[in-house]
Amino acid sequence: MNKRCRLLFRVIGICILLPLAGCAGKKETVSVDLNNLTMDELIAGARKEGHIESVGIPDDWANWGGVWKAVTEKYGLTHHDTDMGSNEELAIFASEKDNPTRDMGDCAFGLMPTAIEMDVVQSYKPSAWDSIPDWAKDPEGRWILGYLGTLSFIVNKDLAGRDIEIHSWQEFKDSGLKITTGEPTGGATQLGMLSPAFAFGNGLDDVDAAIQFWVEMAKAGRIDTGAWGRPRVVQGEVQVMVDWDYNNLTTRDVIIESNSGMNVAVHVVADAALQTGYCAIINKYAPHPHASALMLEYALSDEGQLEKVKGYASPIRDIPIPNDLLTMLIPRSEYTRAIPLTDLEKLSKATEEITRRWQDEVVPLLF
């Protein structure tokens, strides 16, 4: 699995990425005004460019592969992606501004203030603009949250030694099982560590509740310090892990396809169903801006949103989902308590704090 290191806190981005942007020089690159183009002009420009060079948009992440395939078939555009983390995406946009090679990325929601501060993203408001919630888009069109993930548990019943399914942090606490957490460097791991604050405290305003929970688990020897991610789950080495629903469901499929007979269950974290996503951004200096905007058009169309559903992500737009796709998903009833994280300032502050305090207060108890 391509495990993208998706940082959701701004402090690292500001401290590391802004100097990179400054080193790139003062030369300004003139960008096409994508918002003033007709659809025919956009398509014509995209066909002329013929290619999209993306970063951090791998095929196996929430079915981006299905989106890229459709764009290629529909418009004849070729595509290449270099998988990398969200901070790296912004860094490469900044460092290459005078000789750009990359067009667009899929970047952590929490880093959007940094992207705007760095001035490395350009505006495009696709046709579906009005159907996207206000909180999920920059008013000037410099970023758009294209899909959502919801925190979920994946449980290996065989390794647990009994028929058990974990639906909540309280159930996990009572289970006696071990959980694999990884390091708090990516979106899923950071929010997985933060989510007990919602189950046992007052959410983003109460990181103390999360730290208290993890200190208790660490002292009880219930934190697995091995590598976090799909490979160890598939190999049958993880009892419980928290990840986005679309990643855990894809992991489930990999296990089923392997014919290993491993018995796993995936459920939304009922008492802390944190929900956020990743934002489509177009490099301000993109060498293929028309093609990038056209790709964004497709990704946010009804067809493109359904491709994301096929990859087990939730569409950002309110579109009908066919029954044959619904049967592939976690039951919709489990999403009734979903908690969209819409406050960027609070989210950034909380993830910064959980990251710092995990290292200071929990890690010393693990070894």
The answer on pLDDT for 20 being more than 60 is no
The answer as to whether 5 is a domain residue is no
Same domain, 244 and 298: no
Same domain, 115 and 224: no
Per-residue pLDDT band for 63 (boundaries 50, 70, 90) equals very high
Q: What is the pLDDT of residues 291-311, one digit of tens each?
A: 999 999 999 999 999 999 999
Inter-CA distances, 171 with 99, 176, 226, 271, Å: 53, 9, 22, 10
The answer as to whether 1 is a domain residue is no
Same domain, 23 and 160: no
Same domain, 86 and 181: no
The answer on pLDDT for 343 being more than 60 is yes
Residue 30 is predicted with a pLDDT of 52
Of the ranges 213-217, 251-255, 323-327, which one carries the lowest mean pLDDT score?
Answer: 323-327
In whole angstroms, give the CA distance from residue 356 to residue 54. 31
Per-residue pLDDT band for 223 (boundaries 50, 70, 90) equals very high
In whole angstroms, give the CA distance from residue 4 to residue 82. 11
The position carrying tokens 């419980």 is 240
> Number of structural domains, the chain?
2
The answer on pLDDT for 215 being more than 50 is yes
The answer as to whether 4 is a domain residue is no
Tokens of 78: 């070729």
Same domain, 230 and 294: no
Residue 328 is predicted with a pLDDT of 87
Inter-CA distances, 228 with 18, 87, 320, Å: 30, 20, 34
Same domain, 228 and 181: yes
- Mean pLDDT for 268-283 is 96
Same domain, 248 and 317: no
Output the pTM of the full model. Answer: 0.84
The answer on pLDDT for 83 being more than 50 is yes
Q: Is 218 helix (H, G, I), strand (E, B) or coil?
A: helix
The answer as to whether 315 is a domain residue is yes
Which residues constitute the domain of residue 132? 10-148+277-326
The answer as to whether 3 is a domain residue is no
Same domain, 144 and 157: no
The answer as to whether 125 is a domain residue is yes
Residue 352 is predicted with a pLDDT of 87
- Of all residues in the chain, what percent carry a pLDDT higher than 90? 80
Same domain, 337 and 188: yes
Same domain, 104 and 189: no
Tokens of 316: 């950002």
The answer as to whether 27 is a domain residue is yes
φ, ψ dihedrals at 11, nearest 5°: -60, -40
As a whole number, the mean pLDDT across the chain is: 90
The answer on pLDDT for 231 being more than 80 is yes
Same domain, 116 and 250: no
Same domain, 220 and 344: yes
The answer as to whether 119 is a domain residue is yes
Contacts of 332-335 with CB under 8 Å at 24 or more apart are 334/167, 334/267, 334/268, 334/270, 334/273, 335/150, 335/268, 335/273
CATH code, domain with 346: 3.40.190.10
